[in-house]
Structure 1
């Protein structure tokens, strides 16, 4: 059916939810918005789905949630997971708890047990809960750091990780088999509660998670003796407050100051332009409080607490927000240098768009490293593989977009773990008379000046999606031969799993297929193009390395200029 037929199907559905009916009536004269809401089904991808709230097949609402939950229920039933059940968590966004209950109602209609947190909880705790409960899978209702008008449905497997492509593909097939999202059957909440098919959970899982969180600390003496060490923390109106505050307290940090105006859940995220710790404006209130208290480190988590950013004072007392690559390098170096012993088969895992800085640091300590595709599900998949085979012992995993995992009791990026470790790292360097910026400079002097950058182009709607693909097609058809004066040594196309070298040789890559292009330049430099899987954006990643900060800055700008010249031809 075309979009007008889909719109008509909803418009004439007699039992349409009253709130959605009102919203649909308000759109009746807005053809552009209606087309965008109905021209396709909201895509259920390898990580689940994410989209704007509202009526329509391409929107987040109780009917598209039921469609997704029905596909998951079919998958769980095929795995004989009725009694194991599904753990469900949700964040502070509009409709999050309602969507969590709708998911449980669909699962319950299939006779599948649900364990639902009675109030909001972080994504990493959901990952932990799946493993702790021995559940068949998990769901988090969240849109992570997206704007307030978004929500999402993230799916987890029985290992507590986001599903890898093959497993997710099976769920996607079941979701796509739902012919009419409006008529998916649901059970009544009260009936499910009475039958024990919907159970609410809280303190038991919280305490179990906090007990495991203690193991993130490398040296308790560092924080227990840091009486004058001060932390400012902001959960950015999200889910991290309780666990981060308790986690820092139980490793001995007593001067933890939470930004009061951002401590309470708020679906509008009213004090920030974007609840994303990757963006410096999210730190404005934390910086203000930090200056009042002369705090040693500022910590911010995104709404579902899987991403963490930190800011630290420079020599002039001004707070500088570190990049995800810089924070990851500092945590990795601390873990490897301060651990009492390192296993011979230890490994650090990062993504293909994460700095090579981490690999160099790992090599310095005799630790192996591995690249995965972008998306923490691929890191989680490798952790499970190594756990089963014994080939490697997982030591640390991270990605440039502020996602870190220290201990594998969770299988997704975990900002609560990262908050505990980053505070300990800052306290350690303070005990040595240095700030984290000074510690970072030491690493640069030792290993080289690695600098990275990220550009994003937002292109919404059907036309935006087509334009993003046009850019990817152009870079494939007309690949750059040099960038910033550096020769292109190879082009990695992850749609074909091929590495095409400058001398004409073609090598096969073993990573899963994805719509990603990476250009390998000489002198350990690179850039990468990747359409976002969760937002209407195309992202351009850059990485360079020289022997000085000034030279790296100049080279980074030169490479970006070369790439932007070709981008402009497609806009």
Structure 2
């Protein structure tokens, strides 16, 4: 069908949702908007599908949700043992339509006689992962668009291990979704009927208690004697209750919450973006921290799988740590508090765009580091694989503020990370250091690693074509040097090939294929290019290492400028 035919099918559908029909009428003269809404179907990326709310096959609405869940239902019926009895767990965040989408998912599952466990109120993504394992469910669904703008929502699928579905599983689910010919005619059962037949069970407090109990296993020390002052902001999302209870349970009672950001709000009205990766999200936390003379500021994104932290520098000003910096600190703290037996056969897992400083720190403790593709799903898969070997998971993280300490969750967990960060801050405070000073000591010991990331948003059909053009140019005309540093190797993850120029050698990359290009430079520097799987963006990642902060900043800036100039030339 052409997009015009699909649009006509929707507008002529007799029982089309009235809100969606009204929205279509309002944009009836905007051909560009209509084309973008209907020219394709929303597709799965690294963790599911995510898109702008609204009518159309390329938008998040009850019909695209129904189609996705119909495909998932068919998949688990064919591939998961006792799927109907085990059921599917569904959680949701504070975004527009999140609870409605959760109920729609249950209504489709119910039409297949598959039980749905739906949380009675909003919950974090890591709790969804935990609950799939806790309930021995066949799968899990998380309704969230993470830290995207308010007009977005999303749909993430979790497998029976509690991890995001693998590439193979996602491919099979997509195949099933594609067998759904008409998203407007997917069978559903009504909520009341599902509740009366026990096909929809509302869950909550019991799972919360089990998760909080599991949190005790990641503590490395007794925190009962502490005077640590903490400021916490959930950024209008899902983390308030679990983080607050977890901190008290761990012995931290001097916690000040940014009240203006404690209330769930789909508009995220106090921030330009509810993303702890962006420093503006910490403005209110910093103001409260200065009034309270707090030792550490912690902030979680709306679905509480990412954590940001700010700590005082030598001048007493709060500095927001990067994901790489916080990850390295947490890694060092975790490994330093394990004895020799606990480290035995231990493995640290990071992604290919995460700082190389983590590998250096892990090596210092005699621990091996494994690289995965970008996306925590790959870290979760590795943890699952360890169950069949003598390898032991010790820590996993990625540069985009995702961390995991305890494997009772199989996705990044900001609740775990929040508790670990506060415990770590308390430890270093007793040593007379702030987290910033502890980080500086790590740089002095291991070298000044510095990373950066540039994200270019190119929306719509035209934007997708431009992103493809950029990747094609980089692949066909690869860099030979950047910032005065020679390229030593090129890794093409789409072709699964690594070219080592100094040795005139070609190696296979033993990771799943993905449209990613990485350039390894002299002196431990690197650059990586990756189109996002869930957003209309292409991301450029950078890493350097020198002997000082000033030199690393200068080198990083030079390399970033050269890359930016190259991309601008391609787009012209």
Identify the TM-score tier after normalising by the shorter chain. Answer: over 0.9
Between 41-50 and 286-295, report the one with greater CA deviation.
41-50
**Equivalence for 1:276:** 275
Supply the distance in 1 between the matched residues of 2:92 and 2:260 (Cα, whole angstroms): 21
**Equivalence for 1:224:** 224
Asked if 1:109 corresponds to 2:108, the answer is no
Confirm or deny: 8 A CA contact 2:44 2:534 kept in the other structure: no
For 1:477-526, what per-residue CA distance to the aligned partner results, in whole angstroms no more than 9, with x for missing partners? Answer: 11010000000011101101001222542211100000100000011110
Supply the distance in 2 between the matched residues of 1:388 and 1:300 (Cα, whole angstroms): 36
For 1:538-557, what per-residue CA distance to the aligned partner results, in whole angstroms no more than 9, with x for missing partners? Answer: 00000000111111111111
**Equivalence for 2:64:** 64
Supply the distance in 2 between the matched residues of 1:209 and 1:437 (Cα, whole angstroms): 30
Across the two proteins, how many residue pairs are aligned to each other? 567
TM score, norm. by length of structure 1: 0.98
Asked if 1:177 corresponds to 2:176, the answer is no
Supply the distance in 2 between the matched residues of 1:115 and 1:416 (Cα, whole angstroms): 22
Supply the distance in 2 between the matched residues of 1:264 and 1:432 (Cα, whole angstroms): 36
Aligned to 1:20, the other structure's residue is in SS state: helix
Between 334-343 and 518-527, report the one with greater CA deviation.
334-343
**Equivalence for 1:309:** 308
**Equivalence for 2:18:** 18
For 1:8-35, what per-residue CA distance to the aligned partner results, in whole angstroms no more than 9, with x for missing partners? Answer: 1111111100111111110101111001
Confirm or deny: 8 A CA contact 1:526 1:542 kept in the other structure: yes
**Equivalence for 1:162:** 164
**Equivalence for 2:499:** 500
Confirm or deny: 8 A CA contact 1:449 1:547 kept in the other structure: yes
- Per-residue deviation at 1:2? 1.2
Alignment of 1:376-525 (within 5 A): 376-390=376-390, 392-503=391-502, 504-525=504-525
Supply the distance in 2 between the matched residues of 1:170 and 1:110 (Cα, whole angstroms): 18
Runs (4 or more) in structure 1 with deviation over 2 Å come to: 339-343
Confirm or deny: 8 A CA contact 1:44 1:68 kept in the other structure: no
Supply the distance in 2 between the matched residues of 1:272 and 1:506 (Cα, whole angstroms): 47
**Equivalence for 2:365:** 365
- Per-residue deviation at 1:85? 0.5
Supply the distance in 1 between the matched residues of 2:310 and 2:534 (Cα, whole angstroms): 26
**Equivalence for 1:54:** 54
RMSD over aligned CA atoms reads 0.8
Supply the distance in 2 between the matched residues of 1:240 and 1:176 (Cα, whole angstroms): 35
Structure 2: gaps (5+ residues): none
**Equivalence for 2:97:** 95
Structure 1: gaps (5+ residues): none
TM score, norm. by length of structure 2: 0.98
- Per-residue deviation at 1:339? 2.3
- Per-residue deviation at 1:565? 2.2
Confirm or deny: 8 A CA contact 2:489 2:519 kept in the other structure: yes
Supply the distance in 2 between the matched residues of 1:466 and 1:381 (Cα, whole angstroms): 31
Supply the distance in 1 between the matched residues of 2:139 and 2:325 (Cα, whole angstroms): 33
Supply the distance in 2 between the matched residues of 1:10 and 1:44 (Cα, whole angstroms): 22
- Per-residue deviation at 1:68? 0.2
**Equivalence for 2:35:** 35
Confirm or deny: 8 A CA contact 1:46 1:169 kept in the other structure: no
**Equivalence for 2:546:** 546
- Per-residue deviation at 1:46? 4.4
